[in-house]
Chain A
Amino acid sequence: MKVDIDTGLLNNRVMANDIRLSTNQLNLYYGDFQALRNITLDIPERAITAIIGPSGCGKSTFLRVFNRMNDLITGVRIEGRVELDGIDIYDKEIDVVELRKRVGMVFQKPNPFPMSVFENVAYGPKRHGIKNRIELENIVERSLRQAALWDEVEDKLSQSALALSGGQQQRLCIARVLAVEPEVILMDEPCSALDPVATLRIEDLMRTLAENYTIVIVTHNMQQAARASDMAAFLMMEDDRAGTLVEYGPTAEIFTNPKDKRTEDYITGRFG
């Protein structure tokens, strides 16, 4: 669904009861360096939310807050609250493995495992305990169909995933995520390594997936954000290089009628 612009926004809070993810007064530090400052926003479900901003402003770091991938880096510290369906995902009781099953992630560079196409998609379900071959085959076919890849790889399931083209590899990575039935899919510049045709295919796919999934995408590409997203968050570095949220709202608003001068400068290509 499209987020209705007329539902209105108040302090970056979506005034609707369909919030999937939210952050409140989020600060993130790498050791002494503050990478994100005071970010508060709500991400609606079954919609595509784009995070845009110049290089180094903390877009990827912000995205990785939602599946706690930053935990892998030593010295990362978080203040504030991050919620998935109203539950604090940084609470001590939260199982990170379970969280990442619900909040999947697709990376900048397609990273299929050096195994067959089938094994790539079946990897997650297998690790989560599904052993039945027929069940696995069903999951693999369903996930590949969802990722709009089935027709191209139907007869190549046992071949190495590394033999696929870049665009196919990225859709395979999306299928790999879909196979564990997440609720949210995070995408970190998923098209930056792809050619324009492959990029458009991924965007089409995102639109279809948004009917059932909550998608958050980091992108460098203004056109992509304008074309493919429902909501857009513009992040920028402050003087001390900490990323802050400049403006957040429905994509149409941000691109046609930005409230902040810096947003306007950025989307019209005056800097960044």
Chain B
Amino acid sequence: MSLATRQVSQRTAFGFLIAATVIAVVPVLVIIGVILVNGAGAINLEFLTQAPSQAGKAGGIFPAIVGTFYLMVGTLLVALPVGVMAGIYLTEYAGDNRLTRLINMAIVNLAGVPSIVYGLFGLGIFVLAFNFGMSLLSAILTLTCQALAMTVTTSREAILAVPADYREGSLAIGTTRWQTVRHVVLPQAMPGIITGAVLAMSRAAGETAPILIVGAAFLLPRLPQSIFDQFMALPYHLYTVAAHVPGIPDVTIWGVALVLLVVVLSFNVTATLIRLRTRRRRYSS
């Protein structure tokens, strides 16, 4: 091939690569932009601190914000410790055999199960069999099942990434396996584990389908009184006002979307910051 043709084909390839990048990035930016422009007008103190009235047409979205917050914290409280402990067991104790590999594969694949399936599972197990009813508790446990796939996997990966040198150095002076995990491996793996947990939380915050059938309320203009109470949540409220409340001002719908987006994105940004900070610390030392 002549030099000229090679350069043409090089430029063509560049063109396609750039175009693909633009196609990938533009929709995200447009979505964020549109939501910002349309929703900003709805954001005021009343919107953020008052309960909805007239089926969401007036008032604020305070119960939905609080409900989503409860869901995230509740999911974190259960999914993080269980995920870390399972991750430790699978990496440090279980040994590398066919059963462990099967379990690992199953956990990774759990992340791919559609969320409505988790919802149905939660309805059958937590709401009906355990008799927790349509409640915050049922929703937290349902979201936890889904989040576990992520927290176990990220914990496992973070623990595996701790160099074997550290483990050997610790074991070689007569410490138990648990002491080694507790004092050398876990402190090293913690940033990775936390990152995974934060991402799992942000996903839990954005889920609509599973909570819809295990406890989220269509409209409940007060805060949940206990974990057995129903609750409002931002994504479900967004669906409600957008699809089921005629005559609602557009700006209110965009406003709900904006608040949800800010909540979810702020968690993703936090996770990224944690990761960047540890990476910098690791390289500087």
Q: Tell yes or no: A7 within 8 A of B by CB.
A: no
- Verify if A142 is at the interface (C-beta below 8 Å from B): no
Chain B neighbourhood of A180, CB < 8 A: 173-174
Question: Which residues of chain A from 96 to 125 have a CB within 8 Å of any chain B CB?
Answer: 97-102, 104-105, 107, 109, 111-114, 123-124
- 8 Å CB contact of B169 from A72, A98, A113, A182: A113
Residues of B within 8 A of A127 (CB): 173-176, 179, 183
CB < 8 Å neighbour of A100 from B95, B171, B184: B171
The verdict on A74 contacting chain B, using a C-beta distance below 8 Å, is: yes
Decide: A177 and B170 in contact? CB cutoff 8 A.
no
B163 neighbours in A (Cβ, 8 Å): 111
Place the interface of chain A in its size category: 20 to 34
Measured CA separation A72–B170 after assembly (Å): 13
Complex alpha-carbon distance, A101 and B174, angstroms? 4
Task: Check A114–B174 contact: CB distance below 8 A.
Answer: no
Interface residue from A104, A111, A128, A162 paired with B285 (Cβ < 8 Å): A162
Nearest-neighbor residue (CB-CB) of A178 within chain B: B173
Whether, in the assembled complex, B14 has its beta carbon less than 8 Å from a beta carbon of chain A, the answer is: no
Asked if B166 is at the interface (CB within 8 A of a chain A CB), the reply is: yes
Instruction: Find chain A residues with CB under 8 A from B184 CB.
Output: 113
Q: With contacts A74-B96, A127-B179, A127-B183 known, is A113 near B174, CB below 8 A?
A: no
- How far is the CB of B242 from the nearest CB of chain A, in Å? 50
CB-CB under 8 A from A72, the residues of chain B are: 168, 171
Minimum distance in angstroms from B170 CB to a CB of chain A: 7
Which A residues touch B176, using CB under 8 A?
A: 97, 127
Given A114-B188, A123-B183, do A97 and B175 touch, yes or no (CB 8 Å)? yes
Contact: B169 with A97, CB < 8 Å?
no
Cα-based distance from A138 to B183 in the complex (angstroms): 22
Distance in Å: Cβ of B99 to nearest Cβ of chain A: 13
Tell me, rounded to whole Å, the shortest Cβ–Cβ distance linking B90 to chain A: 14
Task: Provide the residues of chain B in CB contact with A114, threshold 8 Å.
Answer: 166, 188, 285
Q: Which residue of B lies closest to A101 (CB)?
A: B174
Q: Is A160 an interface residue (CB 8 A)?
A: yes
Minimum distance in angstroms from A143 CB to a CB of chain B: 11
- A36-69 CB mask vs B (1 if < 8 Å, else 0) is 0000000000000000000000000000000101
| Partner of A111 from B95, B169, B175, B183 at Cβ < 8 Å | B169
Q: Which A173-189 residues sit within 8 Å CB-CB of chain B?
A: 173, 176-177, 179-180, 182
Query: Are A163 and B285 within 8 A (Cβ)?
Result: yes
Report the minimal beta-carbon distance from B104 to chain A, rounded to whole angstroms: 16
CB pair B95 A104 closer than 8 Å: no
Provide the bound-state CA to CA distance between A112 and B135, in Å.
50
* Closest partner residue, chain B, to A95 (CB atom): B174
Task: Determine whether B29 belongs to the interface, using a CB cutoff of 8 Å to chain A.
Answer: no
Known A113-B184, A114-B188, A163-B285; contact A69-B168, beta-carbon cutoff 8 A: yes
- For A111, what are the chain B residues with a Cβ–Cβ distance below 8 Å? 163, 165-166, 168-169
Contact A107 B174, beta carbon cutoff 8 Å:
no
B4 within 8 A of A: no
Q: Does B28 contact A (CB under 8 A)?
A: no
Identify which of B95, B166, B171, B183 contacts A69 (C-beta below 8 A): B171
Is A173 touching B169 in the complex (CB atoms < 8 A)? yes
B172 interface neighbour in A98, A105, A162, Cβ under 8 Å: A105
Please, how many angstroms separate the alpha-carbon atoms of A176 and B166 in the complex? 13
B52-110 residues with Cβ-Cβ distance < 8 A to A are 95-96
Chain A proximity of B234: nearest CB distance (Å) = 40
Binary interface encoding of chain A residues 154-197 relative to chain B, with 1 for a CB under 8 A from any of its CBs, else 0: 00000010110000000001001101101000000000000000
A123 to B174, CA, bound (A): 11
A residues less than 8 Å from B175 (CB atoms): 97, 123-124, 127-128
Q: Are A124 and B173 in contact (CB under 8 A)?
A: yes
Say yes or no: A104-B172 contact (C-beta < 8 A), given A74-B95, A74-B96, A160-B285: yes
Q: How far is the CB of B250 from chain A (nearest CB, A)?
A: 53
Residue of A nearest to B188 (CB): A114
Q: How far is the CA of A112 from the CA of B163 in the complex (A)?
A: 11
Please tell me if the beta carbons of A107 and B188 are within 8 angstroms of each other in the complex: no
Question: Which of A99, A100, A173 gathers the greatest number of chain B CB atoms within 10 Å?
Answer: A100
B171 touches A107 (CB 8 A): no
A74 to B97, CA, bound (A): 9
Residues B173 and A176 in contact, CB atoms below 8 Å apart: yes
The answer to whether A123 touches B285 (Cβ under 8 A) is no
Does A100 contact B174, Cβ atoms closer than 8 Å?
yes
Give Cα A128 to B165, complex, Å.
20
Given contacts A124-B175, A162-B285, A177-B173, 18 further A-B contacts (CB under 8 A): A72-B168, A72-B171, A74-B95, A74-B96, A104-B172, A104-B173, A104-B174, A105-B172, A113-B169, A113-B170, A113-B184, A114-B188, A123-B183, A127-B175, A127-B179, A128-B175, A180-B173, A182-B173
Among all A-B residue pairs, the 7 with the closest Cβ atoms: A101-B174, A111-B165, A105-B172, A100-B174, A124-B173, A162-B285, A111-B169
Write 6 A-B pairs (CB below 8 A) sorted by A numbering: A72-B171, A99-B174, A111-B168, A113-B166, A123-B175, A124-B174
Q: Which B residues have a C-beta under 8 Å from some C-beta of A?
A: 95-96, 163, 165-166, 168-176, 179, 183-184, 188, 285
